[in-house]
Structure 1
Amino acid sequence: MTKSKHFDDITIQPYDTQYREALAQFALSERQRIYSSLPLEVLDDAIEDENRVPNVVLNTQQEVIGFFVLHKHYQHEGYDTPNEVVYVRSLSVNERYQGHGYGTKMMMVLPQYVQEVFPDFNHLYLVVDAENAAAWNVYERAGFMHAATKEEGPIGKERLYYLDLDAKYVSSLKLQYNDDSTVGTIDIVDLMLNGTKAGFIALEQFDERLIIRSVYVFEAYQAAGVAQNALRQLATYVRKQFQGVKVIEVTLFGQNHQLKPLFEKSNFVETLTTEDYCTFEKYINY
């Protein structure tokens, strides 16, 4: 039985021969061709390899709007990743259908889809060229963590992104500015889960630094991975909403602060440790 994943107005499913002609008509701009192969350039190799699954993305009219390959046990040159891993490769949106948010929707549903195709795998990776900021902003929005940077990829610096499929990530979580937080110097960002407020992050800006004053998730949502998903999205949100910020910072008081593992798993780096507190930072521009 063909496995598929429906999300709003798109469907993702493994490739079938009926879609070959549509993939032959698949187009990317000259600029995008620098970053990604056309589907037919990788399709046959993927079909012949038992470790690879080519996939198509369809709209409500059953038109092929996107394509990607899932490659289990793949090891990308220059990175030391686990053996039980799935890589997302050759991901692209047909040029004809770009500008409608399909790329973001694809990435938001991708973790659930991968779990259906490869239920025994927990590690999901992808590699993107560092200068392709539009792509890695979408990956961060979907909860992927920037895990490493390689200085010399095929066309320059590249970035490795990771998502733990075993964790309870919340792909439908959105960060939304609270318009009522206009008094004083604190900005409140609400954590909206399916249209319902699940918590908030309190932020305070000092020139190029943005200080996290509080991360709070309501009790009913504390087991759903909301805080970690929000912190992984935060860099992308800050780039869009806060002018001039280069670093996000948080200080945790006490040697064994309960939030320390949360920031470690969210790609924050511990920069200062004392007997009484520790400081974490994340640079939002690379």
Structure 2
Amino acid sequence: MGEPSTSTETVVLDFFNEKYRSYLEDYYLSEDQVKFTAHPLDALLACKKDPTRFPVVIFYNDLPAGFFVLHGWEGVKEYWDNRAAILLRGYSVNTAFQGRGIAQKSMALLPEFVKQHFPDRNEIILSVNHGNALAQHVYKKSGFVDKGVRTMGSKGELHIYHMLL
């Protein structure tokens, strides 16, 4: 094993495949994360019931380290009126992998991933709880913009962030 180097650390996004399920069974979210996001296995159940939800795994050095869902119009319409938008939801990084810049790196890859796999989309939106300051910071640093759109969610006020593609 060589010395840690950021140049050898890779973050890659790929659609969920059943062969990754065992990694997600051992996926741990902190108490703070559980307040604001779904566990990947719960999100996968929702994806099975809704064909407009696409589960995505975040890989760190070839290991599943994070997870999110891209949701089509059925999810977008709860928050925004752009039919060409896609909703990012259920985003998390496994607690065991936190502190390595994975969130920032995965967010940097997101626009190109969406353009490649959903070429008809011109915007990514997400909702973030008003109490989740850490996530707000990461999303804003990644290029999402808070246009002042607010709505109520099951856990309080949500801020809707936007990223034009």
TM-score, normalising length: structure 2: 0.88
Question: Higher relative CO (CA 8 A, sep ≥ 6), structure 1 or 2?
Answer: 2
- Bigger strand fraction: 1
One-letter amino acid of the counterpart of residue 75, structure 1: V
1:90 to 2:105 alignment:
no
1:32 to 2:54 alignment:
no
Which residues of structure 1 form unaligned runs of 5+?
1-7, 166-286
Q: Secondary structure at the match of 1:100?
A: coil
Map 1:1-286; keep pairs closer than 5 Å: 9-60=10-61, 62-73=62-73, 74-75=75-76, 77=78, 79-150=79-150, 152-165=152-165
115-124 or 145-154, larger mean C-alpha shift: 145-154
Structure 1 position 76, deviation (Å): 5.1
- Determine which structure has more spread, i.e. the larger CA radius of gyration: 1
Query: Are the counterparts in 1 of residues 65 and 94 from structure 2 also a CA contact under 8 Å?
Result: yes
Report Cα offsets for 1:107-154 as digits up to 9, x if no partner: 111111111110111121000001111111111111111023426332
Label 1:81 to 1:103 Cα distance change in 2 as closer, same or farther (>3 A): same
Report Cα offsets for 1:144-193 as digits up to 9, x if no partner: 1102342633222221000111xxxxxxxxxxxxxxxxxxxxxxxxxxxx
Q: Secondary structure at the match of 1:160?
A: strand
Query: Are the counterparts in 2 of residues 149 and 157 from structure 1 also a CA contact under 8 Å?
Result: no
Q: Percent identity?
A: 33
Which residues of structure 2 form unaligned runs of 5+?
1-8
Label 1:132 to 1:31 Cα distance change in 2 as closer, same or farther (>3 A): same
TM-score, normalising length: structure 1: 0.52
Query: Are the counterparts in 2 of residues 47 and 53 from structure 1 also a CA contact under 8 Å?
Result: no
